[in-house]
Amino acid sequence: MTPDAIPVLSAGRHRNPRKGACFMEMASFLAGERWSDHPSCTHPLLAGLARMVNDVLPDSERGRIAPLIPDVVGLTGPSIEVDLAITVRAAVAAIPVAAADRQNVMACALITCERLMDDRGMASRDLRLEIDAARRSAPGAAAWAEANSPSGLVNEAVFRRRTAPHIIRYAVDGITTACTDDRHDRLVALLAGTIADVAARCPDTTGLREGSLPSTAEQVPAARSAMSARS
């Protein structure tokens, strides 16, 4: 596929490139995988966030995330810290602008993440600073969560499989429906910031992303240039 043939991003799944493409389908192409919006080249939770942002952005704004597609190729890792970082970023992004009921849910989500971080002995000073700042931005929600958050620790497997995806979905929806004029900017910034955060926590994937995919080594720079031109 040449850069001129790169599809314009659109919402939803597509059977093949001739039908269009979403963010993660283009990532699957760049990774040399079977055409899919669930490629193995990207952390599942990050891929889920990318699909959500892709789908909720209007057609006029979706091109802004296209230049980020090459950055998620090979971006994955097994550490629970990656799942926590993605989840915290989503909740932190939503809590200042979401409706009150969603703020409460996001504040509870941050407590859930902190408990798991404590249980795993994770310092993660950057995440804890973001959590503290988010609580200061919504003190009412923080107080509600302290009084009403379920006690106990979420099992790590349950967190990965159900809790984290649910939090991220709720966060993206909270931003999308927020009464603010910059919600599209916030969604783009959330995806870009999360990609950068995951990359910093998965340094051992650099080789995979840059050198161990010979079939795509030439495609990635060309695609990045084409996607930037289309954005």
Q: Give residue-wise pLDDT tens across range 67-115.
A: 999 999 999 999 999 999 999 999 999 999 999 999 999 999 999 999 9
Closest CA to 80 of 158, 194, 177: 158
143-146 CB contacts, 8 Å cutoff, 24+ apart: 144/104, 144/107, 145/104, 145/107, 145/108, 145/110, 145/111, 146/111
Q: Give residue-wise pLDDT tens across range 140-181.
A: 999 999 999 988 899 999 999 999 999 999 999 999 999 999
Rounded CA separation 127/107 (Å)? 14
Tokens linked to 14: 């597509």
Q: Which of 67-76, 124-133, 186-195, 219-228 has the lowest mean pLDDT?
A: 219-228
The pLDDT score that the predictor gives to residue 169 is 97
Higher pLDDT, 14 or 225: 14
Q: Give residue-wise pLDDT tens across range 22-64.
A: 899 999 999 999 989 999 999 999 999 999 999 999 999 999 9
